[in-house]
Chain A
Amino acid sequence: MDATILLVEDDRSIREITKLGLQDAGFRVETAADGEEALTRFRHDQPDLVVLDIMLPKRDGLEVCRAIRAASSVPVVMLTARSDAIDVVVGLESGADDYVTKPFEMPVLVARIRAALRRAQLTDPAETITLGSLRIDVPGHRVTVEDEEVGLTPTEFRLLLELARRPGQVFTRELLLEQVWGYSYLGDSRLVDVAIQRLRAKVEPAPDSPALIETVRGVGYRAGR
């Protein structure tokens, strides 16, 4: 795998050792030490995935993430120092696909990166799925709502596809974590909840009263029939 990773981290030691670890894992690695440099490098290097620290000088990681999302659907894995608080949720809401908590170990980060890249690189069989006014062109990774194209990240696309392939069936958060994110049973279910929110904001005609992706209280989610 020779995907290019943009590693944005202000601490030099972490940046260097992480770069070495990612190179060992077979990635090409570009680095940036602050938010401004991150955006410059992002435009210049066209990375396949961004590993983004939240606490950054100049422009913080959340801002960088939103700026990246405005222009691209490239997967973003966030590095966060606090797994508890709003950091994770805010990071996910700003468009990150997944997160890793410091102090992380390299195999964990590599696993999260591979899972995110896999979502983007999956080749799907020729298939078109319709869900209400929603059309999913599976191999083309394109989604249209009333013939208008909607830009989804690979994670959002996989999540939508997972639900839409079996409309009416309830998916637990754990199952979605396994199927979409590649987590074991113990993943953080907030990943699912925030991704569902973002997905609804993009595809639902009225995101506050969702009709396409329904919440099943106490169980999980399902695509409306």
Chain B
Amino acid sequence: MSATGRAADVFGSFRARLIATVITLVAVTAGLVAISSYVLVRNSLRGQLVDDAVARAEFNLTVLASAEQLPQDADRAAFEASRLADRFLLRGTGGIYVEFPDGEPFSSSPRLRGAGDLLSTELRDIVAGSSYGYEFLAVDDEPNLVVAGRRPPAGPDFYFFDSAADVESALDQLARVLAIAGAGIVVLGALGAGLIARRVLRPVAVAGEAAGVMAAGDLSVRLPAETNDELGRLAIAFNQMAASLQQQVDALVEAREREQRFVADVSHELRTPLTALVNEAARLRGRFDELPDTDRRVGEMLVADVGRLSDLVEDLLEVSRLDSSSGAPDLLPVDVARFLEAVIADRHPDATLHIDHAIGSVATDRRSLERVVGNLLDNARTHAPGSPVVVTAAVAGGELQIAVADQGPGVPVEALPRIFDRFYKTDSARQGGSGLGLAIAREHARRAGGELTARLGTPAGLVFELRLPVTESLHSGDVAENRRVHDGGEETSHPRSTP
């Protein structure tokens, strides 16, 4: 998973958490407001209803009932005779239910005939204590307020029924309105939370992307510092960091380039006197016979040292070239067998080549390949003098595998990881080579997209292995690979220049 992918996930879940939190807060708040308003309104409406009904009941029992001289312990017949029921009803009571100490209870309408079964024991207890009580109950599915009181000291007990339908339906409607409004507020809250989350998180997402771009190596990326808040300051800090990083990297790159240029210039300047030296030494070599023995030894040393110096400068130039160029591999078809034969003839003619001649051609960077194999052969010649050297080559699994094995002294096993380091020389190898050949070989192997490794051989010596991904190059059948007759019938079988 890429870095930006992970960042997106983090933002995604953070955003979800933010939205969920806001929705919860809004829902709880809206719920609390709705419920408390409902309770307030209900209490107020019902309280009004109860107050009116209780006041009426008190009036009925204390004023009307006593005024009409309803006898204490009156029975149903006495009550009906007093015609109090009609007067109560005239004063606005919805219905009357009366229980007498003995005898049948009275009800003002058939609807209330069974009302005695509906009444709660709590209400009856209150009434038995000679207090006024009330409760809400449904009669035939219609909400009613019952206010009850006793004619002291022992009855009868009066139950005044008033319809609460208006209040209750108003409360139901209120509840519905509040529920809808609450749901609406939650939805609005969710939308708002989404918007806010996007607004808040967009700069964070932008910053995340910018950091990703920067991590990928583009230090020129900057954040827009539009606001003066925390995010604005984050953008400014980010930009300062990027600018300072870029500055430092630029300075490093410049220093590195300067250094590389210097090495290249030095090596280049060395080439001119070296060219003269090499040829002067070569000329001297042809005249050794004319020198006295002592001078001759000096001459031989001079010639050998000029050769070493020349190799060293060559390798230094190669290294500076490798450091400064990042060139893509230059893929050309290479006939592996012929190529290896040619490199061996050029660099270590005594080496043996084991190759499956069916390999044919592969497309690869031949200059790099020549450097790798050539330097490995040079290395074998210098550090394993006289030892048999075997080069094997095979193509398997899209890889060209070339091994160069010698039977020389090898290196101590602990030196193995370091032999590709620049200027690394084992104690026994102090005399020969520039110390750069293997480093150059490995760098060229990498450049061509491959890998160069070393291991100890059995029973002795070193084995270098190159693994190089290649595509097999298909020769069309019409390619001229055969030798042909040149001027005047002279067969040029292997027209090699002989440097």
Measured CB to CB, the residues of A under 8 A from B are: 11, 13-14, 17-18, 20-21, 81-82, 84-85, 102-108, 111-112, 115, 122-124, 166, 168-175, 178-179, 182-187, 189, 216, 218-220, 222
Contact with A178, one of B268, B363, B370, B495 (Cβ below 8 angstroms) = B495
How far is B484's CA from A202's CA once the two chains are assembled, in angstroms? Answer: 27
Q: Does B13 contact A (CB under 8 A)?
A: no
Q: A46 vs B342: C-alpha distance in the bound complex, in angstroms?
A: 38
A169/B479 in contact, CB under 8 A:
yes
Are the C-beta atoms of B274 and A182 separated by less than 8 Å?
Answer: no
How far apart sit A107 and B487, CA to CA, in the bound complex (Å)? 24
A81-B271, A103-B274, A103-B310 known; A21-B345 Cβ under 8 A: no
Interface centre among A20, A169, A218 (most CB of B within 10 A): A218
Contact string against A for B residues 310-343, beta-carbon threshold 8 Å, 1 for contact and 0 otherwise? 1001100100010001000001110100110111
Contact A18 B279 (CB under 8 A): yes
Closest to A216 in B: B476
Chain B residue nearest to A112 (CB atoms) is: B497
Asked if B342 and A185 sit within 8 Å, CB to CB, the answer is yes
**A184: which of B321, B345, B487, B488 is its contact (CB, 8 Å)?**
B345
Closest CB-CB distance, B349 to chain A, in whole Å? 13
Contacts of B480 in A (CB 8 A): 166, 169-172, 175
Q: How many residues of B contact A (CB 8 A)?
A: 49
Select B338's contact among A20, A108, A169, A185, beta carbons within 8 Å: A185
Are A124 and B487 in contact, with the CB atoms below 8 A? yes
Looking at B276, B280, B481, which has the most chain A CB atoms within 10 Å of its CB? B276
- A107's partner among B317, B345, B473, B498 (CB-CB below 8 A) is B498
| Contact residue among B273, B333, B342 (Cβ-Cβ distance under 8 Å from A172) | B333
In-complex Cβ contact of B481 among A172, A182, A218 (8 A): A172
Does B475 sit at the interface, judged by CB under 8 A?
yes
Residue contact B342 to A184, C-beta cutoff 8 Å: yes
Among B279, B313, B479, B495, contact of A21 (Cβ-Cβ < 8 Å): B279
Q: Are B279 and A81 in contact (CB under 8 A)?
A: no
As a 0/1 sequence over residues 281 to 307 of chain B, the CB contacts with chain A under 8 angstroms (1 = contact) are: 011000000000000000000000000
Q: Is the CB of A175 within 8 A of B283?
A: no
A6 to B338, CA, bound (A): 36
Q: Establish whether residues B497 and A182, one from each chain, have CB atoms under 8 Å apart when the complex forms.
A: yes
B479 adjacent to A219 (CB under 8 Å): yes
Q: Which residue of A lies closest to B269 (CB)?
A: A81
CB atoms of A103 and B271 under 8 A apart: yes
Instruction: Pull 26 A–B residue pairs with CB atoms less than 8 Å apart, ordered by A.
Output: A11-B273, A11-B275, A18-B279, A21-B279, A21-B282, A81-B268, A84-B325, A102-B271, A102-B275, A104-B275, A104-B279, A105-B282, A107-B499, A108-B497, A115-B497, A124-B487, A166-B480, A169-B478, A170-B475, A170-B479, A171-B480, A183-B497, A186-B343, A218-B333, A219-B473, A219-B475
For A20, what are the chain B residues with a Cβ–Cβ distance below 8 Å? Answer: 283
Q: Are B339 and A170 in contact (CB under 8 A)?
A: no
B278 on the A face (CB < 8 A): yes
With the chains together, A175 CA to B481 CA distance in Å? 7
> Which B residues lie within 8 Å of A122 (CB)?
487
CA distance A112 to B498 in the complex (A): 10
User: Chain B residues near A173 (CB, 8 Å)?
Assistant: 332
Q: Contacts of B279 on A, CB cut-off 8 Å?
A: 14, 17-18, 21, 104-106
Contact B271 A186 (CB under 8 A): no
Rounded to whole angstroms, the CA-CA distance of A187 and B275 in the bound complex is 21
Q: Which one of B282, B343, B475, B499 has the greatest number of beta carbons of chain A within 10 Å?
A: B499
What A residues does B498 contact at CB under 8 A?
A: 107, 111
Q: Report the separation of the CA atoms of residues A219 and B274 in the bound assembly, to the nearest whole angstrom.
A: 38
CB-based nearest B residue for A176: B480
Q: How far is the CA of A104 from the CA of B276 in the complex (A)?
A: 9
Name the A residues within 8 Å of B313 (CB-CB).
Answer: 103
Closest Cβ–Cβ distance, residue A38 to chain B (whole Å): 18
Besides the known contacts A18-B279, A82-B268, 20 further A-B residue pairs in the complex with CB atoms under 8 A apart: A14-B279, A17-B279, A21-B283, A102-B274, A103-B313, A104-B278, A105-B278, A107-B498, A169-B479, A170-B476, A171-B479, A172-B335, A174-B338, A184-B497, A185-B338, A185-B496, A186-B370, A218-B331, A218-B473, A219-B473
Closest residue of chain A to B264 (Cβ to Cβ) is: A82
Partner among A21, A123, A169 whose Cβ is within 8 Å of the Cβ of B487: A123
A158 to B83, CA, bound (A): 146
Do the beta carbons of B478 and A170 come within 8 Å of each other?
yes
Asked if B276 and A17 make an inter-chain contact with CB atoms under 8 angstroms apart, the answer reads yes
CA A186 to CA B334, docked complex, whole Å:
10
Contact yes or no, B497 A218, CB < 8 A? no
The answer for the CA separation of A168 and B476 in the assembled complex, in Å, is 12
Name B483's closest neighbour in chain A (CB-CB).
Answer: A178
Give which listed residue, B275, B370, B478, B479, contacts A103 with CB less than 8 A.
B275
Chain B 144-170 near chain A by CB (<8 Å), digits 1 or 0: 000000000000000000000000000
Q: Is B272 an interface residue (CB 8 A)?
A: yes
B305 CB to nearest chain A CB (Å) = 14
Pairs A-B, 3 closest by C-beta atoms: A13-B276, A185-B342, A184-B496
Q: Which residues of A contact B473 (CB under 8 A)?
A: 218-219
**Is B172 interfacial (CB 8 A cutoff)?**
no
What is the CA–CA distance of A155 and B219 in the complex, to the nearest angstrom? 50
The reply on B346 being an interface residue by CB < 8 A is yes
Q: Report Cα–Cα, A170/B361, bound state, in Å.
A: 15
**How far is it, in angstroms, between the C-alpha of A184 and the C-alpha of B370 when the chains are bound?**
13
Interface centre among A104, A166, A174 (most CB of B within 10 A): A174
Query: What CA separation (Å) do A104 and B341 show in the bound complex?
Result: 23
Whether B325 pairs with A220 at a CB distance below 8 angstroms is: no
| Shortest distance between the CB of A14 and any CB in chain B (Å) | 5
Taking a contact as CB atoms under 8 Å apart, the answer to whether A105 and B499 are in contact is yes
Looking across the interface, which residue of chain B has its beta carbon closest to that of A115? Answer: B497
B411 to chain A, nearest CB (A): 29
How far is it, in angstroms, between the C-alpha of A221 and the C-alpha of B33 when the chains are bound?
Answer: 88
Residue on B nearest A13 in the bound complex, by CB: B276
On whether the beta carbons of B497 and A111 are closer than 8 Å, the reply is yes
Q: Is B321 a contact partner of A84 (Cβ separation < 8 A)?
A: yes
Are B333 and A14 in contact, CB atoms less than 8 angstroms apart? no
Q: In the assembly, what is the distance between CA of A33 and CA of B157, in Å?
A: 143
Which one of B310, B331, B495 lies within 8 Å of A179 (CB-CB)? B495
